[in-house]
Amino acid sequence: MAIAPSLGLSVTLAGVVPVAHELLSPADPVAWQSQRRIEAERLARLAAFIGNGRQSDSIVLAGDPAMELARWSDDHGVTLLTLARNCGHARPELGTTARSLRDHAAQSLLLVPPGPATADVRFRKILVPLDGSPLAESVLPVALRIARDHGAQLLLAHVVQRFMRPQPIQSQDLCELEFEIDRHSARRARSYLAQMRSRVGDKAIEVRTAVLGPGDPRTALAELALKERADLIVMSAQGVTNMNDVRCGSVAEYLIDQTNTALLVIRPNLTCSFSLEASSDAKVPAHLIA
């Protein structure tokens, strides 16, 4: 509900009633209707709680949650799937439904860690990882729209990857070369982020930049999110490697599994411009909250 208005998207609340042994025997129609009614009432209470003047539809599905959510989303042109991480763990983890949708669904994903239920959520700091690829940069308009609505600060981050020296070669000249390469990469990274900052072009939004490394982008970004107390990460599912055979790249997958921060993972189906106009028809469903 906090993100939908920023992107001009409507909201559909979804509940899935599991059907045990659905392939072995038909469901009891009385039990199914009872479960469906209970779930519909739960969604109605939830909609009333989080509504605050904002309308949402609801849908009750039956069967395997991941399969039914993916099928309904494909059939109805859903843009964004919103799911919670599992509760009751030292670190929030993905349940089987969220993991399956992460690995197989075509829709963008918003993954939310456990926390107190509130009807009004405000983001204060949005972390945007950038690796120099067009895919990573394509999320900037989305992050900017959310920042505008929430009055949030944008933190653009780039991680300089470590120079891989040949092993087991060791020499003073090689050490000096490694130092110069790292320094040159950091200088280029600062220039790159300055360009991205100017591309945002909204003086009403505070934009900071952070050059990290040299090091592993996965751990560096996870540590930055924790250090900066970012309450939302907006990133592309794929970056510079752009592997066609997987839905999420290694950095996105690591942050999904390792961070406590709300994470908006954007796939090619979610695009918008830097303009203030709505990004899509408000009648098109955007979120599924399972």
Identify the CA nearest to 94 among candidates 248, 227, 238: 248
Q: What's the rounded mean pLDDT across residues 128-148?
A: 95
| Residue 23 scores a pLDDT above 50 | no
Give 117's pLDDT tier (boundaries 50, 70, 90): low
Task: Evaluate whether 150 touches 122 at the Cβ level (below 8 Å).
Answer: yes
Q: Between 88 and 113, where is the model more confident?
A: 113
Q: What's the rounded mean pLDDT across residues 143-153?
A: 95
- Is omega for the bond preceding 168 within 30 degrees of 0, making it cis? yes
Residue 139: per-residue pLDDT: 95
Residue 288: per-residue pLDDT: 62
Which domains, from first to last, does the chain contain? 4-289 (3.40.50.12370)
Biggest CA–CA distance in the chain, Å, is 79
Residue 170: per-residue pLDDT: 61
Tokens matching residue 141: 């308009």
Residue 278: per-residue pLDDT: 47
Task: Evaluate whether 127 touches 159 at the Cβ level (below 8 Å).
Answer: no
| Residue 166 scores a pLDDT above 60 | no
Per residue in 38-81, pLDDT (tens digit) is 999 999 888 887 766 666 788 999 889 999 999 999 999 999 99
| Residue 203 scores a pLDDT above 90 | no
Per residue in 233-280, pLDDT (tens digit) is 999 999 887 677 778 899 999 999 888 899 999 998 887 777 655 444
Per residue in 171-183, pLDDT (tens digit) is 666 667 677 778 8
pLDDT averaged over every residue in the chain: 84
